[in-house]
Amino acid sequence: MSENESSANPQPETSEPRAVESETSAPPAPFVPPAPIVQPAPPVATPAPAAFSAVPPVPQAPAAASATPPAPRQRSVAVPVIAAAVVAALLGGGAGAGVAAWAITSQTSQQTASPASPQTITVNNPSSVDAVTAVAAKAAPSVVTISVTAGSSGGTGSGVILSEDGYVLTNTHVVTLDGESADGTIEVTTADGRIYSATVVGTDPIVDLAVIKLDDASGLTPIEWGDSDALDVGDQVIAIGAPLGLSNTVTDGIVSALDRSIQIASSAVPDSGDTDQTPDQQQNGGQGPFDFWNFDQNGGSSSSNSASSTISLPVIQTDAAINPGNSGGALLDDEGKLVGINVAIASTGSSSGSSQSGSIGVGFSIPASLAKRVSEEIIADGTASHGLLGASVSTATSEDSDVVGALIQEVTSGGAAASAGIKAGDVVTEFNGHPITSSTDLTAQVRALAAGSSAELVYQRDGKATTVTVKLGELDS
Segment 314-323, tens digit of pLDDT = 999 999 999 8
pLDDT at res. 195:
97
Residue 208 annotated as catalytic: yes
Going from the N-terminus, what domains does the chain have, and what CATH number goes with each? Answer: 2-67 (no CATH), 84-129 (no CATH), 228-368 (2.40.10.10), 387-474 (2.30.42.10)
At residue 70, φ and ψ (nearest 5 deg) are: -55, -30
pLDDT at res. 199:
97
Sign of CA dihedral 171, 177, 183, 188: negative
Which of the four pLDDT bands, split at 50, 70 and 90, describes residue 51? very low
Average pLDDT over residues 166-178: 93
Which of the four pLDDT bands, split at 50, 70 and 90, describes residue 291? low
* Listed residue (239, 368, 366) closest to 314, CA to CA: 366
What CA–CA distance (Å, rounded) separates 146 from 144? 6
Which of the four pLDDT bands, split at 50, 70 and 90, describes residue 65? very low
The conformation of residue 295, written as its DSSP 8-state character, comes to S
Segment 422-477, tens digit of pLDDT = 999 999 999 999 999 999 999 999 999 999 999 999 999 999 999 999 999 999 86
Q: With a cut of 80, say whether residue 114 has pLDDT above it.
A: no
Catalytic residue of the set 106, 173, 334, 351: 173
Q: With a cut of 50, say whether residue 307 has pLDDT above it.
A: yes
Catalytic residue of the set 208, 291, 426, 441: 208
Residue 386 annotated as catalytic: no
What CA–CA distance (Å, rounded) separates 92 from 336? 13
- Are 247 and 145 a contacting pair, CB within 8 Å? yes
9-18, 135-144, 453-462, range with the lowest pLDDT = 9-18
pLDDT at res. 266:
74
- Are 364 and 260 a contacting pair, CB within 8 Å? yes
Q: With a cut of 60, say whether residue 97 has pLDDT above it.
A: no
Residue 477 annotated as catalytic: no
Catalytic residue of the set 181, 304, 312, 327: 327
Q: With a cut of 50, say whether residue 358 has pLDDT above it.
A: yes
